[in-house]
Structure 1
Amino acid sequence: MELQDLYTSHGQFINGIWRPGSESAPAMINPATEITLGDIKQAGAAQVTEAIAAAGKARESMRALSAWSRSALLRRAATLINERAEKLGYLVALETGKPIRQAVGEAKSSAESVDWFADEARRIFGMSYESRVKGDRYLVHMEPLGVVAAFVPWNFPLLLLSRKMAPALAAGNTLVIRPSNEAAGATMALIKCFEDAGFPQGAINLVIGRPAEITATIMNDPLVAKVSFTGSVPIGRLIVEQSAVTLKRVSMELGGHAPVIVHADADVDAFAAMAAPGKFRNAGQVCASPTRFYVHESIAKEVEEKLMAATRELRVGSPLDDATDLGPLATKRRRDAVEQMVDKAVSGGARVLSGGMRPRGMERGYFFEPTWLTQLQPDDSVLNDEPFGPIGTLTTFSTMDEVITEANRLPFALAAYVFTRSLTKTHATVDRLQAGVIGVNTFVAATAETPFGGSKDSGFGREGGPHAIRDYLDTKFVNVAMPTDAN
């Protein structure tokens, strides 16, 4: 099916039926070519309400499934995602500009996440223990919350959604999903994997449309018990405020501005080889992206030289080319924001070590060169606001106290990274860093089996790992008092 047909004839998945939305919307744009991919019909408020009602009705069907049945459905979905990884990756690359190798890798990571929670579905353990009265029992049951809403951005449309869908379904909940419009086709293809796996009718509902309108409808509906949100800090705050009206549970995975501390004893060659692709993965449009690099003054020159050399090896090009390391930014708005951030830093005295502009010879597409800045002022926006683009900053430090203070200065506390050969220095740094996720001598910040999330303004709650499913469960205590005449 052509994308245009997909956008116009599908768009919404409500109560087990694919249908178009009821309202027109801006055209979908290929960020690498600026050519229109198609026009998608968006959901109106009435369709969102219908999706919530369908999810509410399907709660009994999900509760009727045993843990082993839910596990089998998730395992089947994971298998289908793996089998369709190439197609899913192609759609992500086409719609968001993510390089195809990274996009296919995202699809496979999504399958891993779903597969992980297929196991967790069978490990929802309650408790039974003696009461204060001999012969009586205290029982603790874990039960699904009911209807869960999942809000997902465009930068990892498959993985971020899978991290929410898998634990919610493993726990026996139903879903209403509001994805990013920029990745509508990829999202629909992922939902199709769950549909084909055989989940009950109405258990999974997808509504694509104006974020503000969909969000308001969901937040005002008391049938929705929980919201899991990944996105910006301002929108996250708004959702938390709105959740108070109907007392919804919320999980927030918000922005970051990850510091990278490179100690004097770090392996500079290994660091540079990891830092260039790590910083510019998905053109820096990663919430856990390393952005503020603090290098010990004794190795600063060596690090700069090797990091620039590694960066020059990166290839900017078509996201559909297997050789491409950096594709375009996802939207013109994002490219313009990155460009303005660099221009503002330079006007304040910052020095551009590499990049800093649109690539020469690439007249179309929202491309921007991999950029390194140094000699920045403490109040430069690039050091204080998440760049969410292909910008890295280099700053030197001399003492541990100095670099820890600077690393922890911002209200963000999602990810941080440390490079050192010393186990003593590792523990001393990690213990003092404020971050939910820390990589030591690596930029790998998340896997299916490990918890991912932040604190401070970066949110609360964790996705992945053995505890994530608890955010989708309610606790019921039962005090069983035996009748006095019972045998």
Structure 2
Amino acid sequence: MFDAFTRSVFINGVWEDIHEDTTDTIYNPATLEPITHVAFAGGKETDRAIQAASEAFPVWSNKTGRERSRYLYRASQLMLDDAERLGKILTLEQGKPLKEAIGEVKGAAGFLLWYAEEASRNYGEWIPSSIKSKRLVVIPQAVGVVGAITPWNFPSSMITRKLAPALAAGCTVVLKPAPETPLSAIEIIKLFERAGLPKGVVNLVTGDARAIGKRLLTNKNVRLITFTGSTAVGKYLMRESAEHLKKLSLELGGHAPSIVFADADIEKATSLVLGSKFRNNGQTCICTNRLYVHSSIADKFAQLLKEKVKNLKIGLGIEKDTEIGPLINKQACEKVQSHVEDAMDKGAVVAHGGKLWEGDLPGHYYQPTILSNVTEDMKIMHEETFGPVIPIQTFTDEVDVTQKANNTDYGLAAYIFTENTNRAIRVSEKLDYGIVGVNDVFPATPEAPFGGIKQSGIGKEGGHHGMDEFVEKKYISIGIDQ
């Protein structure tokens, strides 16, 4: 599927041969086999990419929303037509099961489609003036060149969730994908090429993450940084971008609680918790990290959940019946193991799993794990695990469990399971999170805003709200003769 070297630097409409000195090796985390090598570019390539985006910006931003939307429509359809091949590439470099990967690609195409439609709806505002001789107008204008930094856990959808609204708004982009998963980014840029996107509107640079990031932060022509990743890196981006007061859109870490009330549909709730926690092997920012179950149903719930977890199929993501793939690397396995061991040292009981998977594959696999007898002093109840572990704690009081759920610096997503409408509304309003799912653990969709509060981020992605991150509102005051 890939040659020994894959071109991964795309500047001003040209795929460049940058591989003479150093390359990055891209590995399949399921087998630890090398897939291909990509360019290890750095600061000078990033400067040229920014320059290309800067030069393309006046023409691109001057196009009508309808003109820009045509490219997004084409790219969306091309992505859907090629979803199976793109899904296989995603699985090879990232490890998630093929069904999930193809679903992600189709979701990524959905962002392109949504913002193709939104491109023509970037409305301004006419403000009634208190002064007869004035007319007050607010118009949205593209912010400028965008530096987009995307993660490895969703290497297709996180790209289009940023690029689509940026392009729809009239911005141009320099994209830096995660070093572990550049191949999906390369294929997405090729789709934009096939869609006829003008040169310089989207540029791609892979390689030295620190050098590339530094240029995006320090070059004054980059007006906005949009980033998905850890809270620690998000804080770094805020500090370093202060010199030029860059606009920031940050989707950062999460520590999602799931609360299962006594009146919940237990069968439905266990299935949804299973889907939330083990989707992408727990490597999602909105997956269940803490599970609170009402004491009156705790035993029944835990037993049913355990039966379902035991039946999960571990293996190569490329095999159609696989439900649990590998973690992204060795360090991820070590972090999961450290959280499990810390919990066990403090009294937690392993109800299932609790160690590395001892199968016949050499990749980075960890057993799907359930921990019971969990207490608040354990790391797993305060730190994002990013792996296939469910810690279960029981509760009896609604107010108390809501306070526990809110007792974190994170505020991305939270979930509740109940058949009581009053409780659903009451608890949703009291949970201190940007996203709340009620009997729903898959809230992300192109038409709705996605983003956290507290240390889980700044800004929203998705919905018409997502366009706001990429525009500035210009106020025009017009004096007229009476």
Q: Secondary structure at the match of 2:469?
A: helix
Residue 316 of structure 1 pairs with residue 311 of structure 2 = no
The 1:63–1:363 alpha-carbon spacing in structure 2 relative to 1, beyond 3 Å, is: closer
Residue 18 (structure 2) aligns with: 21
Aligned-residue offset at 1:444: 1.2
Using the TM superposition, give the Cα deviation of residue 374 of structure 1 relative to its aligned residue in structure 2, in angstroms: 1.5
Instruction: Give the Cα separation in 2 of the matches to 1:132 and 1:440.
Output: 44
* Superposition map of 1:28-39 within 5 A: 28-39=26-37
Corresponding position of 2:263: 265
Asked whether the equivalents of residues 288 and 445 of structure 1 are also in contact (C-alpha less than 8 Å), the reply is no
- Contact kept, 8 Å, 1:21 with 1:44, in 2: the verdict is no
Which one of 275, 278, 283 corresponds to residue 276 of structure 2?
278
Distance (whole Å) between structure 2 residues aligned to residue 317 and residue 241 of structure 1: 41
Distance 1:461 1:434, change over 3 A: same
For 1:438, give the aligned amino acid. Answer: V
Deviation at 1:133, TM superposition (A): 4.8
Q: What TM-score do you get using the length of structure 1 for normalisation?
A: 0.96
CA RMSD of the aligned region, Å? 1.4
Counterpart-to-counterpart distance in 2, 1:381 and 1:445: 26
Deviations 1:176-229 (A, max 9, x none): 111101111111001111121111110001111122111111100000000111
C-alpha displacement of 1:159: 0.5
1:245-294 CA-partner distances (Å, limit 9, x unpaired):
01100011000010000001111111112221221000000000111000
For residues 315 and 291 of structure 1, the distance between their equivalents in structure 2, rounded to whole angstroms, comes to 21
Deviations 1:433-479 (A, max 9, x none): 11111111111121010111000110110100111101100111222
**2:306–2:351 CA contact under 8 A, matched in 1:** yes
Between the aligned residues of both structures, percent identity stands at: 37
C-alpha distance in 1, partners of 2:181/2:18? 16
* Residue type at the aligned position of 2:313: R
Aligned with 1:43 (options 41, 44, 49): 41
Spell out, residue by residue over 1:381-409, the C-alpha distance to the aligned partner (whole angstroms, 9 max, x if none).
11110000111110000101210111011
* Partners of 2:280 and 2:325 within 8 A in 1: yes
Structure 2 distance, partners of 1:292, 1:128, is 47
Amino acid in the other structure paired with 2:363: G
Of 366, 374, 379 in structure 2, the residue corresponding to residue 368 of structure 1 is 366
- Report the secondary structure of 1:169's partner residue: helix
Distance 1:135 1:225 in 2: 35
Q: Which residue identity lines up with residue 382 of structure 2 in the other structure? A: N
Give the Cα–Cα distance (whole angstroms) in 1 for the partners of residues 82 and 253 of structure 2. Answer: 30
Task: Name the residue aligned to 2:54.
Answer: 56
- Measured in 1, the distance between the counterparts of 2:426 and 2:481 equals 58
Give the counterpart letter for 1:4 in structure 2.
Answer: A
Report the CA distance between 1:87 and its aligned residue.
Answer: 1.4
Q: Structure 1 residue 79 and structure 2 residue 77: aligned?
A: yes
* 8 Å Cα contact 2:24-2:207 kept in structure 1: no
1:89–1:103 CA contact under 8 A, matched in 2: yes
AA paired with 1:198?
G
* Matched position secondary structure for 2:198: coil
Q: Secondary structure at the match of 1:256?
A: coil
- Structure 1 position 141, deviation (Å): 1.3
Tell me if structure 2 keeps the 8 A contact 1:130–1:136: no
Q: Which one of the candidate residues 430, 433, 454 is aligned to 2:431? A: 433
CA distance, structure 2, for counterparts of residue 396 and residue 71 of structure 1: 50
CA distance in 2, matches of 1:91, 1:332: 21
**Equivalent AA in structure 2 for residue 334 of structure 1:** A
TM-score, with normalisation over the residues of structure 2? 0.97
Q: Deviations over 1:88-135 (max 9, x none)?
A: 111110001011000000000000111001111000111234545546
Measure how far apart 1:349 and its partner are: 2.0
1:248 alignment partner AA: K
Greater Cα offset, 256-265 or 25-34: 25-34
Paired residues of 2:24 and 2:39 also in contact (CA < 8 A): no
Name the residue aligned to 1:11.
Answer: 8
- Verify the 8 A CA contact 1:16 1:201 in the aligned structure 2: yes
- Partners of 1:294 and 1:136 in 2: CA distance: 58
1:222 aligns with 2:220: yes
Map of 1:89 onto structure 2: 87
The aligned counterpart of 1:155 is 153
Instruction: Tell me the residue number matched to 1:356.
Output: 354
Q: Map 1:53-452 onto structure 2 (within 5 A).
A: 53-134=51-132, 136-452=134-450
Alignment equivalent of 1:458, drawn from 456, 459, 472: 456
Q: Measure, in 2, the Cα distance between the counterparts of 1:351 and 1:70.
A: 56
Stretches of structure 1 that go unaligned for 5 or more consecutive residues are none
Amino acid at match of 1:17: V
Could you tell me how far apart the structure 1 residues matched to 2:361 and 2:129 are?
A: 74
* 1:469 equivalenced with 2:475 (yes/no): no
5+ unaligned residues in a row in structure 2: which ranges? none
CA–CA separation in structure 1 for the residues paired with 2:419 and 2:99: 31
Please say if residues 277 and 325 of structure 1, whose CA atoms lie closer than 8 Å, have aligned partners that are also in contact: no
Q: How far apart, CA to CA, are the structure 2 residues paired with 1:260 and 1:442? A: 10
Whole-angstrom CA distance in 1 between matches of 2:64 and 2:289: 45
How many residues end up aligned between the 2 structures? Answer: 481
Contact map agreement 1:48 1:218 (CA 8 A) in 2: yes
